[in-house]
């Protein structure tokens, strides 16, 4: 029995979804004659002295009320000196717990889908194992992703690979461009005609000015079905649910959902923040995107990725949504070629990893 430890953190839902996709693929298709146990572990859920931390709450706080401060920290640490200090801070707060997890699990291989979990933030654990980072950002990620002590860094795009190689001179053999890890059920499907459905997402924490967006959609598209996913934002769910009670029969409101794939499939167009996981999922499913916001500097470059690759449009002003939606419908095929960018990413990543480390 071999063991693979996969670290993630619930700072947004993309890191967890990537970790889950890797676990499912590894367990479904292990090498012949090899039994593999995959352990998923929240890496930032416990700080020094055993103090519990809530990554979801912290992300919600920093991506809303403290977003300006968060972006400031992002900028001042996105350089050699700044990232060194950031890693020291992370290791001081979470390093001991990360080392304890590694020493307890004794994995044969460690994989991380989160940039705050890497050899330099873990520190020196007693148990040693190869350490691989799966980059789950698009655009030009923060340099903390590219820890020189990693054994491999797997990127979703060629642009990120070249960027990483420039940052890790002399270690280009560690950088591998493969794809983005998605769950296997995200496959391109052929769909005839429009469903007249718009899907509004705010990420797992219901970020963004969703309430205003929904009001504009209800006022301008009374004949379309408006489906909203509020995530864990209970206040937003109650506010929108009251609109439903007021007679907006074309409005469908959800909290946190496990059937996102089905909602994607039903929708014609998806309105969302610039989360990388959602962008890739919609690209594979050939669903045009309207990016309404970016949360934190780490998502800013994702907007350019969407626009430059004709995956959708950027519309931060809710008042301009009706015109943008009509334009996307009018040129729908222009925004549905994204499945050529990503294909069977999880399968290819797992095949590469198991070939080299099984």
Residue 284 contacts by C-beta under 8 Å, 6 or more apart in sequence? Answer: 182, 186, 187, 188, 338, 339, 342, 343
Ranges of CATH 3.40.50.2000 domains, the chain:
197-340
Does residue 189 carry a pLDDT above 80? no
- 192-205 residue pLDDT tens: 789 999 999 976 55
- 25-53 residue pLDDT tens: 999 888 888 889 999 999 998 877 677 77
Which pLDDT band, with edges at 50, 70 and 90, does 297 fall under? confident
Give the Cα separation of 348 and 116 in Å (integer): 24
**The domain 197-340: what is its CATH number?**
3.40.50.2000
Ranges of CATH 3.40.50.2300 domains, the chain:
2-182+343-357
Give the three-state DSSP class for 41: strand
Give the Cα separation of 303 and 309 in Å (integer): 10
Contact 117, 7 (CB under 8 A): yes
CATH topology for 2-182+343-357 is: Rossmann fold (3.40.50)
pTM: 0.88
């Amino acid at each position: 029995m071999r063991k693979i430890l996969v670290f993630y953190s619930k700072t947004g839902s993309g890191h967890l979804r990537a970790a889950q996709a890797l676990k499912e693929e590894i367990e479904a298709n292990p090498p012949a004659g090899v039994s593999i146990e995959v352990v998923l572990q929240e890496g930032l859920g416990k700080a020094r002295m055993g103090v519990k931390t809530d990554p979801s709450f912290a992300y919600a706080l920093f991506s809303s009320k403290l977003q300006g401060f968060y972006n400031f920290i992002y900028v001042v640490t996105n350089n050699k000196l700044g990232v060194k200090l950031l890693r020291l801070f992370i290791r001081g707060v979470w390093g001991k717990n990360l080392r304890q997890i590694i020493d307890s699990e004794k994995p044969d291989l460690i994989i991380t889908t989160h940039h705050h979990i890497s050899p330099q933030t873990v520190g020196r654990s007693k148990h040693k194992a190869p350490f691989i980072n799966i980059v789950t950002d698009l655009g030009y990620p923060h340099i903390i992703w590219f820890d020189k002590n990693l054994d491999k860094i797997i990127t979703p795009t060629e642009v990120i690979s070249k960027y990483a190689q420039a940052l890790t001179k002399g270690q280009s053999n560690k950088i591998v461009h493969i794809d983005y890890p998605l769950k296997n059920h995200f496959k391109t499907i052929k769909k005839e005609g429009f469903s007249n459905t718009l899907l509004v997402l705010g990420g797992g924490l219901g970020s963004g000015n969703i309430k205003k967006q929904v009001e504009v959609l209800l006022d301008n598209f009374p004949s379309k079905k408006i489906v909203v996913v509020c995530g864990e934002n209970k206040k937003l769910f109650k506010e929108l649910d009251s609109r439903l009670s007021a007679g907006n029969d074309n409005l469908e409101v959800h909290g946190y959902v496990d059937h996102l794939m089905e909602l994607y499939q039903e929708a014609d167009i998806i309105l969302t923040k610039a989360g990388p996981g959602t962008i890739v999922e919609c690209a594979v499913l050939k669903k045009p995107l309207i990016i309404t916001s970016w949360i934190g500097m780490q998502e800013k470059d994702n907007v350019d990725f969407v626009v430059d690759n004709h995956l959708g449009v950027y519309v931060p002003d809710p008042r301009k949504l009706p015109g943008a939606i009509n334009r996307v419908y009018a040129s729908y095929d222009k925004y549905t070629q994204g499945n050529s960018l990503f294909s069977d990413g999880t399968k290819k990543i797992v095949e590469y990893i198991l070939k080299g480390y099984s």
